[in-house]
Amino acid sequence: METRTVRVVVNGTAYEREVEPRRMLGDFLRHDLDLTGTHYGCEHGVCGACTVLIDGRTARACLTLAAQMDGHTLTTVEGLAGADGTLNALQKAFAECHALQCGFCTPGMLMTLTELLNETDSPTEAEIREAITGNLCRCTGYQPIVAAALLAAQRIREQRAAAPAAQATE
């Protein structure tokens, strides 16, 4: 079987791998790059656990071929925390609000909400619920996930509001 060369940037790191054309992006991340944070659930685009950002937009890693990612930039759940492991605002809010129990849906939830919070730092509860309709969680009942997203958005707004003031006092 003829292979394809894939050159891709994932979480700021450049990778080059030879892949079979049928290699799916989720398997590529998990098995070829050892980035096992992206979870594989239904493998047919329904559960949302494998959601990653392709050029800043959410997509299902189970419905995307690794070969298609040549030249593209990806963000996975491993790319959210700081280099020293400090959780970002959304991740902290998830921990504080108990927005995960078994944790299987969490990478997908985080990536979906990352896209939403990149688009707006003041989403309504309805917008949050709408955003996560494509991500299934069987533990939480979604309430704490929505609460975590609202809390993270509030903190992001506060950080942004505080940033210019801090500069002014320097």
Binding interface with other proteins (CB under 8 A): 1-2, 4, 20-22, 24, 27, 43-45, 48, 51, 54, 57-60, 62-65, 67-68, 112, 115, 130-131, 133-134
Nearer to other proteins, 54 or 147 (CB): 54
How near is the Cβ of 86 to other proteins at its closest, in Å? 27
Minimum distance from CB of 76 to other proteins (Å)?
14
Q: Which is nearer to other proteins, 37 or 98 (CB)?
A: 37
Edge-to-edge order in the sheet of strand 13-19:
13-19, 4-10, 73-75, 51-54, 57-60
CB of 71 or CB of 103, closer to other proteins: 71
Smallest gap from residue 168 Cβ to other proteins (A): 35
Q: How far apart are CA 170 and CA 162, in angstroms?
A: 13
> How far, in Å, are 54, 86, 90 from residue 41 at the CA level?
19, 27, 22
In the complex, what is the shortest distance from the CB of residue 102 to other proteins, in angstroms, rounded to a whole number?
Answer: 21
Distance CA 159, CA 155 (A): 6
Instruction: List, in sequence order, the alpha helices (H) in 67-136.
Output: 89-96, 106-119, 125-131
CB contact at 8 A, 37 and 103: no
| DSSP β-ladder status, 51-54 and 73-75 | antiparallel
Is the Cβ of residue 27 or residue 88 nearer to other proteins in the bound state? 27
